[in-house]
Amino acid sequence: MERWSLGAKVVALALLLSAASHGRELPVKSSDRSFIYNHTLAKTLVEYASAVYMTDLTALFTWTCSRCNDLTQGFEMRSLIVDVENCLQAFVGVDHSLNSIIVAIRGTQENSVQNWIKDLIWKQLDLSYPNMPNAKVHSGFFSSYNNTILRLAITSAVHKARKSYGDINVIVTGHSMGGAMASFCALDLAMKLGGGSVQLMTFGQPRVGNAAFASYFAKYVPNTIRVTHGHDIVPHLPPYFSFLPQLTYHHFPREVWVQDSDGNTTERICDDSGEDPDCCRCISMFGLRIQDHFTYLGVDMEADDWSTCRIITAQRVQQFRLELAGNIMMTKHDIDVSIVEPSVQNRLEQF
Ligand SMILES: *[C@@H]1O[C@H](CO)[C@@H](O)[C@H](O)[C@H]1NC(C)=O
Ligand SMILES: *[C@@H]1O[C@H](CO)[C@@H](O)[C@H](O)[C@H]1NC(C)=O
Ligand SMILES: *[C@@H]1O[C@H](CO)[C@@H](O)[C@H](O)[C@H]1NC(C)=O
């Protein structure tokens, strides 16, 4: 608690600086095609982004977990991917009523979301995004997707699903750090499949790159919605300094800011700058809260068990785990389950 309050002061200071000047917004060009925000679709996707936090893998891959119902009923799970060392989790499957492949990704916050948020302030734009001049991103978010099992496993599962069902659309989603990774995943898929086939909707994601990156992003993944909620602090981090728009982090469009007041919920469709001053940015830094990070559209976005990066699997999986020294590729009802433990991380990098 002590450390968090210190961290909170530091965050507050940086946000104060970022709010200090209202310079001109740097326009981020987005395509003419306007992606229409649909509340029902958002509610469905937030339920997928919530389900990927569940730790009971058996209930998850049979789609019987406590969060695996409501609008996501009938989901066909095709691939469940777990990186034990980094506490990352993702799944790929088909939503037949949306006629789309769903990719949901969960990040690594583990038991200390507070520390994770506090650290967000120091994240550097330390990696040039490949083949995009001037585009800079945070290497940690990028490599959690690109340099772990996720990239290989997700792209191959999407490829297989499109073989079975034809070239249906892919919708990528995630909350918090999972949203940051979902962004890189959507960009990667859009560059392979074409931007028209890929949609992205994230919830409470932090900024991931600079203005140049945001421009490329808007061009390659035009069907993007970044949902923010009330006073959630995470979309404000790492900070955006409006007097240094070229040099600091910059969100890509398009934000949809959801607010609840007195039982009424409003959803504001923001402008295409990525940093609409009239959306969540209009909240003063003193008003930012962590609580709003854990509920989106009324859905619980916390892990069901923060105590460790605990993974509960069926006995059969446990057994495979021993036999294969950690690297599991098993098939049950045609579902791939990949679990990667520290011992195989290095091998994966050769892929
Ligand atoms: C919103 O999305 C749902 C599917 O989630 C669809 O059934 C409905 O027709 C869409 N509404 C509009 C207005 O496009
Ligand atoms: C991203 O991953 C690919 C392999 O999947 C690798 O070749 C490439 O170097 C990685 N990019 C970066 C910038 O690390
Ligand atoms: C909530 O919305 C309803 C319908 O739009 C409106 O009549 C009511 O006054 C709103 N309540 C508050 C507290 O804003």
In order along its 351 residues, the chain shows pLDDT tens digits of 334 444 455 555 556 555 544 434 444 544 444 558 999 999 999 999 999 999 888 889 899 999 999 999 999 999 999 887 788 899 999 999 999 999 999 987 655 778 888 889 889 999 999 999 999 999 999 999 999 889 999 999 999 999 999 999 999 999 999 999 999 999 999 999 999 999 999 999 999 999 999 999 999 999 999 999 999 999 999 999 988 888 899 999 999 999 988 788 999 999 999 999 999 999 998 899 999 999 999 999 988 776 556 555 555 555 544 444 444 444 445 677 777 765 544 444 433
Nearest bound ligand to the CA of residue 100: 1
Whether 343 is covered by a domain: the verdict is no
Residue 304 belongs to some domain of the structure: yes
- Centre of ligand 1 to C-alpha 246, Å, is 37
pTM metric for this prediction: 0.86
- Answer yes or no: is 246 within a domain: yes
| Per-residue confidence (pLDDT) for residue 51, from 0 to 100 | 97
User: From CA 150, how far away is CA 169, in angstroms rounded?
Assistant: 19
Q: Which residues face 258 on adjacent strands?
A: 229, 267
102 CA to middle of ligand 2, Å? Answer: 23
- Are 88 and 150 a contacting pair, CB within 8 Å? yes
What token pair was written down for 288? 């930012």
Q: Which of 175, 231, 250, 293 is the catalytic position? A: 293
The residue whose C-alpha atom lies closest to atom 11 belonging to ligand 2 is 146
Please indicate whether residue 293 is annotated as part of the active site. yes
Structurally, how many domains does the chain consist of? 1
Query: How many CB atoms are located within 10 Å of the residue 177 CB?
Result: 25
Range of the domain at 100: 2-316
Task: Please report whether residue 337 resides in a domain.
Answer: no
In a domain, 262, yes or no: yes
Q: How far is CA 270 from CA 40, 214, 278, in A?
A: 18, 15, 8
Which tokens go with 347? 């091998």
**Concatenated DSSP letters of 45-107:** HHHHHHHTT--BHHHHHTT-STTS-GGGTT-EEEEEEEETTTTEEEEEEEETTTTEEEEEEE-
CB 215 within 8 A of CB 28: yes
**Would you call 176 a catalytic residue per the annotation?**
yes
Q: Are strands 136-137 and 169-175 parallel, antiparallel or unpaired?
A: unpaired
Q: Which helix (H) or strand (E) holds 331?
A: strand 328-332
73: CATH:
3.40.50.1820
- Nearest residue to 225 via CA among 274, 265, 185: 274
Q: Ligand 1: which atom is nearest the Cα of residue 38? A: 1
CA of 41 to the centre of ligand 1 (A): 6
* 322 in a structural domain: no
Q: How far is CA 103 from CA 132, 193, 265, 301, in A?
A: 25, 14, 27, 17
95 among known catalytic residues:
no
In a domain, 342, yes or no: no
Q: What is the DSSP letter of 245?
A: T
Q: Is residue 336 part of a domain?
A: no
Which is nearest to 229 in space by CA: 291, 318, 322, 146? 291
